[in-house]
Amino acid sequence: MASLYRFIKIIHALLIVAIILLFIACNKELELDLPSPEGVPVVNCLFNSDTNLQVQLHTLAPLDSLTPSVAITNAEVFITTDGRKIPLFHDSEGHYKSDIVPVPGESYSLEVHMPGEETVYAQDYLPEKHFPEVGKLEYKPDYIIPNDLYFGQFRAFPTKVTVDSSLFNSNIIIRAFAHRKGKYFENDSAGTYQVLEEPFMENIQLFSTDLYFRNLGQDAYVVFNLAKGLQGPSHTFEVWLPEYELGTSQNTSPDYNRVLGYCYYDSDFYIEIMCGSENFISYMETAILQLAYAINPIAEPVKAHSNIQNGTGIFAGYVVKRFKTGTYYMGLDPD
């Protein structure tokens, strides 16, 4: 028995030595001959029915340097739709423009010719303009905990969204915007107000607690239709606008000579619905995850979706509509 115990101790010691040697060997730098993506053409074109179709072209920057990408200015770019092949003209810095206003329900093909390079191809379509119904912002706050997000419980205001059965399998994205009509500073000691900046539109946070329409990863600005296959004539759920987005920001001072006070906004709120192709929704999902996981050292890298042949990037269609849901008036008049 004693000899068996000594044998086990020897084997254990040898294993420890082997592991130490293995770690030492792992410190050696290996030279890997990785393929360089430098010079690969990148296409950026998200088209809709509200603007003329435009394509941006540049080369992919090398991985091992700070060299920026280079605009492609010598390409021949064509869009084919409804049997017509239409050339685009180069405007500046790799931007190619056209007089084409995409039509919902139509398909579009992209063709890019560059000297000495393979022809770049892509194809996609523009969905029909059919959107969910969006209700009004309800000024009845409740405490919510969004799905899958590392947010604690907080107060938020709901807006109802109703999706009919014809849209159950659609690729839907929901965002929120606020039109901030002036920014005012309150001096706590004197009680005076001053207009600080002109009105502006900003993308604001939006959450969902629904099982089918949800935020993706740790993103707090976009709600996706992530679960298809709903049943019934329609599906109604709520998206939630956080109370802190209504228009007040504490402890803000425009300069160092004034007492800290508050910034106030009178705000119009909008829900934006985007209905896109499969390529559009895949690109948006992976682009958001790519940004969200980039700061996580243990997360597996996410590659943004691409539908470009002989290149990379995106060529995808979507339709969009904004619904005004309400106005929040702070009751402050600088006059």
pLDDT at 217: 75
Does residue 310 lie in a domain region?
Answer: no
326 closest CA partner among 271, 248, 244, 263:
271
Residue 258 has pLDDT above 80, yes or no: no
- Where among 65, 100, 125 does a domain terminate? 125
The string of pLDDT tens digits covering residues 152-171 is 678 899 999 999 998 988 89
> Which amino acid is it at 329?
Y
Number of domains in the chain: 2
Same domain, 137 and 256: yes
- Separation between Cα atoms, residue 172 and residue 318, nearest integer Å: 10
User: Domain ends where: 125, 146, 174?
Assistant: 125
**Which of 102, 125, 148 is where one domain is finished?**
125
Note down the domain range covering 290: 133-303+319-328
323 or 328, which is more confident? 323
Same domain, 151 and 298: yes
**What are the tens digits of pLDDT across the range 85-129?**
999 999 999 999 999 999 999 999 999 999 988 999 999 999 999
Q: How far is CA 303 from the centre of its chain?
A: 14
Asked if residue 280 has pLDDT above 90, the reply is: yes
Pair type for strands 234-242 and 207-208: antiparallel
The predicted model gives 262-266 an average pLDDT of 68
Long-range contacts of 286-291 (CB under 8 A, 24+ apart): 288/216, 288/217, 288/219, 288/222, 289/216, 289/217
pLDDT band at 260 (very low <50, low <70, confident <90, very high): very low
Rounded CA separation 38/143 (Å): 50
**Quick one: 164 and 197 in the same domain?**
yes
Both 169 and 256 in a single domain? yes
